[in-house]
């Protein structure tokens, strides 16, 4: 059973869900883009012997939004996750990431290898990339989008069921059961109904992205044992053979492919838990 918590960190308030075996292997879980800590509720009941702390990344769920002068970057999320670990008193710990959370976990494992014991990344490894000749165009698009967001009105849903149906058709289409878990943590009551409580700036284009060569160097720098779990068929934005090529760069990595969608850790939690096995418990 996961329970709510709130941490006062050096980078602001970070919320989430935690539970599992007190004193067990410490695992910090990071969710995907526009999801929240509830992403790990189905999987948590199948993972034994670990103390699981699932964060709401900044701007998601119940966590604070970043200041207006700050940008939502994978590096910013990585710094916030380390700040949460510091607030927990965790010097060393393992990482469990899905989608964006897997990208952030990849950065963390490469940036501070002395702190990361093990890494499991689901449906992600490394970051989305950009070619060098798109640098100026990306910056122009991102700044233009920031200007256009000023007058944008948030959608208001009359009831939770309507929000659930919208989430089922959103990024990484999910079942009704999975969508309801994400929605119930991801909405706030307002006049006339409910609206997303995630920061609207999360939908803006990223200002700057690494190149593929930079991402590959980052992956070669991940020193801890790593297990990558992909669903089949592959997503269009992370196709084969790219995703397998990236996994092969991990010095101590292994790859498992399971039938399933992008949210397979929610849709088929027993199978994903079986693929994780005792990985987090190994010395």
213-255 pLDDT, tens digit per residue, is 999 999 999 999 999 999 999 999 999 999 999 999 999 999 9
Point out which residues pair with 12 in neighbouring strands. Answer: 9
Query: How much is the pLDDT for 204?
Result: 93
Least confident stretch, 54-58, 73-77, 146-150, 200-204: 146-150
pLDDT digits (tens, 9 = 90+) for 4-36: 999 999 899 999 999 999 889 999 999 999 999
| % of the chain surpassing 90 pLDDT | 92
Can you tell me the distance from the alpha carbon of 53 to that of 39, in angstroms, rounded to the nearest whole number? Answer: 12
| % of the chain surpassing 70 pLDDT | 99
pLDDT digits (tens, 9 = 90+) for 112-136: 999 999 999 999 999 999 999 999 9
Burial-class residue 256 by CB neighbours within 10 Å (0-12, 13-18, 19+): middle
Minimal CA–CA distance to 60: which of 165, 145, 160, 187?
Answer: 187
pLDDT digits (tens, 9 = 90+) for 186-208: 999 999 999 999 999 999 999 99
Point out which residues pair with 7 in neighbouring strands. Answer: 14
Q: Active site includes 99?
A: yes
For β-strands 193-196 and 187-190, DSSP reports them as antiparallel
Mean pLDDT of the chain: 96
- Residue 230, number of CB atoms within 10 A of its CB: 24
On the question of pLDDT at 1 being above 90, the answer is: no
Can you tell me the distance from the alpha carbon of 126 to that of 4, in angstroms, rounded to the nearest whole number? Answer: 29
Query: How much is the pLDDT for 151?
Result: 67
Q: What are phi and psi of 222, to 5 degrees?
A: -85, 110
On the question of pLDDT at 81 being above 70, the answer is: yes
Instruction: Give the torsion sign (CA, 45, 47, 52, 58).
Output: negative
Q: Show the tokens assigned to 217.
A: 């160097």
Query: How much is the pLDDT for 240?
Result: 97
Question: Could you say which of 39, 63, 76, 99 is catalytic?
Answer: 99
Residues 6+ positions from 263 with CB-CB distance below 8 Å = 32, 39, 98, 123, 172, 174, 178
Contact 85, 11 (CB under 8 A): no
pLDDT digits (tens, 9 = 90+) for 131-184: 999 999 999 999 999 887 876 778 999 999 999 999 998 877 899 999 999 999
Q: Show the tokens assigned to 205.
A: 């284009």
Query: How much is the pLDDT for 256?
Result: 98
Confidence label for 103 from pLDDT (cuts 50, 70 and 90): very high
Can you tell me the distance from the alpha carbon of 201 to that of 71, in angstroms, rounded to the nearest whole number? Answer: 8
Which helix (H) or strand (E) segment holds residue 75: the answer is: helix 74-88
Can you tell me the distance from the alpha carbon of 198 to that of 52, in angstroms, rounded to the nearest whole number? Answer: 23
**Full set of structural domains in the chain with CATH:** 3-132+210-281 (3.40.50.1820)
Can you tell me the distance from the alpha carbon of 160 to that of 280, in angstroms, rounded to the nearest whole number? Answer: 36
Point out which residues pair with 256 in neighbouring strands. Answer: 229
Burial-class residue 249 by CB neighbours within 10 Å (0-12, 13-18, 19+): middle
Point out which residues pair with 10 in neighbouring strands. Answer: none
Can you tell me the distance from the alpha carbon of 251 to that of 231, in angstroms, rounded to the nearest whole number? Answer: 22
């Amino acid at each position: 059973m996961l329970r709510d918590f709130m941490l006062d960190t050096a980078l602001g308030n970070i919320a989430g869900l935690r539970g599992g075996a007190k004193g067990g292997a410490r695992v910090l879980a990071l969710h995907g883009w526009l999801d929240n800590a509830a992403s790990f509720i189905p999987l948590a009941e199948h993972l034994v012997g670990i103390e699981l702390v699932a964060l709401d990344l900044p701007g998601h769920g119940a966590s604070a939004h970043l200041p207006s002068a700050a940008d939502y970057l994978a590096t910013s999320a990585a710094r916030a996750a380390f700040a949460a670990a510091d607030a927990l008193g965790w010097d060393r710990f393992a990482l469990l990431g899905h989608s964006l959370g897997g990208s952030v976990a990849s950065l963390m494992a490469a940036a501070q290898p002395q702190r990361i014991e093990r890494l499991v990344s689901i449906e992600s490894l490394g970051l989305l990339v950009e070619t060098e000749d798109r640098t100026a165009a990306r910056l122009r698009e991102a700044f233009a989008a920031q200007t256009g967001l000023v007058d944008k009105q948030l959608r208001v849903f009359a009831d939770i069921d309507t929000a659930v149906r919208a989430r089922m058709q959103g990024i990484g289409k999910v079942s009704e059961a999975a969508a309801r878990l994400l929605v119930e943590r991801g909405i706030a009551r307002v006049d006339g109904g409910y609206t997303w409580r995630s920061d609207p700036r999360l939908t803006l284009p990223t200002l700057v992205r690494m190149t593929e060569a930079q991402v590959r160097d980052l992956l070669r720098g991940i020193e801890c044992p790593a297990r990558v779990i992909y669903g089949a068929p592959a997503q269009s934005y992370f196709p084969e053979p790219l995703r397998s090529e990236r996994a092969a760069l991990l010095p101590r990595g292994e790859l498992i492919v399971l039938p399933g969608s992008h949210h397979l850790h929610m849709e088929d939690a027993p199978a994903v838990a079986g693929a994780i096995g005792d990985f987090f418990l190994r010395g």
